[in-house]
Structure 1
Amino acid sequence: MHTQKKDHLPQLQNDPGGKGRLLIFIVAYNAENTIENVLKRIPVSLSDRYDIEVLIIDDSSQDNTFEKSELAKRAGLVPFKLTVLYNPKNQGYGGNQKIGFHYAMENGFDWVALVHGDGQYAPECLPELVEVLATKKAEVVFGSRMLEKRAALKGGMPFYKYVGNKILTTYQNFMLGSDLSEFHSGYRLYSIEALKTIPFSLNSNDFHFDTEIIIQLIFARQRIMELPIPTFYGDEICHVNGIKYAWDVVKATFLAKVQPFHIFYDPKFDCKPAEEQQAADAAAEEMHLEAILSKEIPDRSNIMLVGNIPDKLKEHLRECGHFVNVKSARFFLDHMTSEHSLDYIFLLDDSVSRNPEEMVAKLREVCMYSPDLKICVTIANIGFFLTRLLLLFGRFSYTRRGIINFNSFHFFTLRSARKIFVQNGFAIQDILGLPVPYRAIFSSNGLADFFMSVHRGLIRIRKSLFSFQFVFFVTPPPSLQHLLASAMEISGEKSRKIDE
């Protein structure tokens, strides 16, 4: 994410692209005493550069907020188109934002500016804030009360809120690798294109919606710029439960942080660009590559790869002069017959966990006349200590990759994985335990290598508990057909020797 900060408001510039469409979205709840003043403070000069509409959504207020807003519309209080909506059931601060953002998308706006109906955030700053989006300096702009040192306190922010804001923001920046001056300003402007890149509709309806949407924007690599705004605390009523809000923020940030570990999965945070997902997959695949190639493969071997095979593995094997044939798991199950010419079969990418009994039985059939064929199989370990701990607390969530991923239908411990091969007569030559693919998680190779080294040490202590994944090297059992054919062949040779 690129975050930028400005020490002063930029000068308004001419918009070379003509008038863009700006929705000024006012979230309102019990704001009958302030809503008219907020409308009057919106700079009329905005209409010189932008096609403006003001949207007020009254979130089922218990006072006359809707009536005051509707009368202001009829009186022509502002020189812009004014739309006033009323939620028949309170949607919460986050839920109200979702409706407004959806309105902006459905009605073809370019940008949406979030303003509060209680007047805490100055509408007078809108021209400078929207200019950032109009000139494409960023996709998102926040009005920050914390950029100017202690300005928030001078503007009346209670000291405990100031300290809490600082503590939470420091924690969030540390966890997310960002450098925002604050995560908790409600003065925000978004480009509609940026909102389209994230699943904001999955976010909480509560106040920490604001934290979740920032996390999504960071993950989606949208540029965020902050500009200083004045702080104003009047006699408005705060509807936020501070302790609950702080806990929700800490929890959401932590869950977002651990997404790359594939321990927890939350679809609302699954919004990284496709190229980043592919890079993470490639880093994880290198672990398989390293393990598979740890076994020496004789020159010019005939190798079959089954499953979604890493390109690096295919390229490496071919560069080494091996004959490589790639099959999908479905093709292998439906169409493969006994093979005499194969030297190796690699079953990767959950090809066993989807249909274990069927796949192992098919392996026996394919290897019917090839008892010397060598087989390599990768299997995720449901007995991994973190997974056991999560199960103890009732957590069982599928993830994009890892042990409990979207492609897995069956799960294995070391014992159960070993058992399915042994019961089918396969001889286990070796079992490697793999650590978590830390290089897919940490940007620092040094840090990743450190954790990998520690993890490998733990695997040596207890493979069944600390292996994130297993690599089985097995050989097939001699089939009855093969044994009978061998017996008949040897018997014929011995009989001929007697005749001689």
Structure 2
Amino acid sequence: MNGSQNQRKSPAQGTERILVFIPAYNCSKQISRVLAQFDGVERYFAEVLVVDNRSPDNTLEAAREAAARAGLPVTIVRNNDNYGLGGSHKVAFSYAVDNGFDYCVVLHGDDQGSIRDLVPHLEAGAHREVDCLLGARFAPGAKLEGYSAFRTFGNHVFNLLFSAGAGRRLYDLGSGLNLYRVSKLAGAKYRGFANNLTFNYFMILASVHWCWNIRFFPITWREDDQISNVKLARQSMQVLGILARYVFNRKAFLDGNFSGRALDDYGFTVIERSGARAGAPI
């Protein structure tokens, strides 16, 4: 090992442990590409956790094959029920807390975002200065590939509305690449947030209310062979309802249970572990 390598300790090699959580649903075509994103940047991360939300396609099989080729520990779990994207977040956040991680990165399993957009910020130590680093598709410097002009315009409108309601500038209400400080997650009341695709809207508003130190960073976002689960008209109405509840009765909104489940009803089954692992408890 040369001198420069000795001087340059990555978070995963030092005292910090960073978990990457990959929510996956019907991602059989993309999950291998997502896991391949870590080639060459493995040193920044302690473990990858793939949470399959009971995909009816071959997502699990594809994830297992790709995990065997990964250069870092990969744990694949399957939710015991369909919890939605938000429910999968709850599984992963609890996993990060229970297993002593310092940071939890969210990287969606449909290969629209790139982990390499986050790496320079880890290299610079920006994650140590904030409670969450949030990837922003609509921040200055971001790039959109294959994203329709209509959806881009709609997102800008909602970003402005939520910024006004939250009282601070929000550049994205929920992309597929975010980092959270686990000590903040440990004390956060997020289990009552909706389990569907609106979970991130709850999370961003709550993060502002909790006075977390939030920083946005520009990302590249692409659409090619992904399958969207978003019903635009229906979700737009849900999103406006979320903002209205937050603005007019913030405490009741954040203390409510919009999940449709008991707050502790998020069991999962470990399917496979690949690579060396520190042996932290499940």
- Verify same fold: TM over 0.5: yes
Q: 1:179 aligns with which of 163, 169, 176?
A: 169
Report the Cα distance in structure 1 between the residues aligned to 2:64 and 2:224, rounded to whole angstroms. 24
Instruction: Tell me, yes or no, if the aligned pair for 1:144 and 1:226 is still in contact at 8 Å.
Output: yes
Q: Taking structure 1 as reference, are residues 135 and 115 closer, same or farther at Cα in structure 2, changes over 3 Å only?
A: closer
Residue aligned with 1:200, SS: coil
Report the Cα distance in structure 2 between the residues aligned to 1:194 and 1:129, rounded to whole angstroms. 19
CA RMSD of aligned residues (A): 2.4
| Percent of aligned pairs sharing the same letter | 27
Q: 2:30 aligns with which of 16, 34, 45?
A: 34
Instruction: Tell me, yes or no, if the aligned pair for 1:132 and 1:138 is still in contact at 8 Å.
Output: no
Letter in 2 for 1:223: N
Q: Taking structure 1 as reference, are residues 191 and 164 closer, same or farther at Cα in structure 2, changes over 3 Å only?
A: same
Report the Cα distance in structure 1 between the residues aligned to 2:172 and 2:205, rounded to whole angstroms. 13
**Equivalent runs, 1:248-263 vs 2, <5 Å:** 248-259=238-249
- Cα deviation for residue 149 of structure 1 reads 6.4
Report the Cα distance in structure 2 between the residues aligned to 1:134 and 1:221, rounded to whole angstroms. 18
Report the Cα distance in structure 2 between the residues aligned to 1:90 and 1:156, rounded to whole angstroms. 29
Match of 1:222 in 2: 212
Instruction: Tell me, yes or no, if the aligned pair for 1:133 and 1:191 is still in contact at 8 Å.
Output: no
Q: Taking structure 1 as reference, are residues 43 and 178 closer, same or farther at Cα in structure 2, changes over 3 Å only?
A: farther
- Does 2:49 match 1:55? yes
Cα distance per residue 1:100-139 (max 9 Å; x no partner): 1111111000001101111001122231244576652211
- Cα deviation for residue 71 of structure 1 reads 2.5
Report the Cα distance in structure 2 between the residues aligned to 1:151 and 1:134, rounded to whole angstroms. 21
Instruction: Tell me, yes or no, if the aligned pair for 2:142 and 2:220 is still in contact at 8 Å.
Output: no
Taking structure 2 as the reference length, what is the TM-score of the superposition?
A: 0.81
Q: Taking structure 1 as reference, are residues 132 and 80 closer, same or farther at Cα in structure 2, changes over 3 Å only?
A: same
Match of 1:238 in 2: 228
- Cα deviation for residue 151 of structure 1 reads 3.4
Name the larger-Rg structure. 1
Q: 1:169 aligns with which of 151, 156, 159?
A: 159
Q: 2:58 aligns with which of 58, 64, 74?
A: 64
**Equivalent runs, 1:11-22 vs 2, <5 Å:** 18-22=14-18
- Cα deviation for residue 268 of structure 1 reads 3.0
Letter in 1 for 2:104: V
Instruction: Tell me, yes or no, if the aligned pair for 1:43 and 1:124 is still in contact at 8 Å.
Output: no
Q: Which runs of 5+ in 1 are unaligned?
A: 1-12, 271-500
- Cα deviation for residue 198 of structure 1 reads 2.0
Match of 1:268 in 2: 255
Structure holding more helix per residue: 1
- State the number of aligned residues: 249
Letter in 1 for 2:255: K
Cα distance per residue 1:172-231 (max 9 Å; x no partner): 001110102221322111010221232111100011100101111101100111111112
Instruction: Tell me, yes or no, if the aligned pair for 1:59 and 1:91 is still in contact at 8 Å.
Output: yes
Instruction: Tell me, yes or no, if the aligned pair for 2:24 and 2:59 is still in contact at 8 Å.
Output: yes
Residue aligned with 2:48, SS: strand
Q: Taking structure 1 as reference, are residues 143 and 85 closer, same or farther at Cα in structure 2, changes over 3 Å only?
A: same
**Equivalent runs, 1:460-471 vs 2, <5 Å:** none
- Cα deviation for residue 42 of structure 1 reads 1.6
Letter in 2 for 1:104: A
Report the Cα distance in structure 1 between the residues aligned to 2:77 and 2:17, rounded to whole angstroms. 20
- Does 2:82 match 1:86? no
Instruction: Point out which structure has higher relative CO (alpha carbons under 8 A, 6+ apart).
Output: 2
- Cα deviation for residue 156 of structure 1 reads 1.6
Q: Taking structure 1 as reference, are residues 130 and 200 closer, same or farther at Cα in structure 2, changes over 3 Å only?
A: farther
Report the Cα distance in structure 2 between the residues aligned to 1:42 and 1:51, rounded to whole angstroms. 9
Q: Taking structure 1 as reference, are residues 149 and 108 closer, same or farther at Cα in structure 2, changes over 3 Å only?
A: closer
Instruction: Tell me, yes or no, if the aligned pair for 1:215 and 1:269 is still in contact at 8 Å.
Output: no
**Equivalent runs, 1:460-499 vs 2, <5 Å:** none
Letter in 1 for 2:18: L
Match of 1:45 in 2: 41
- Cα deviation for residue 267 of structure 1 reads 4.4
Instruction: Tell me, yes or no, if the aligned pair for 1:145 and 1:230 is still in contact at 8 Å.
Output: yes
Instruction: Tell me, yes or no, if the aligned pair for 1:216 and 1:269 is still in contact at 8 Å.
Output: no
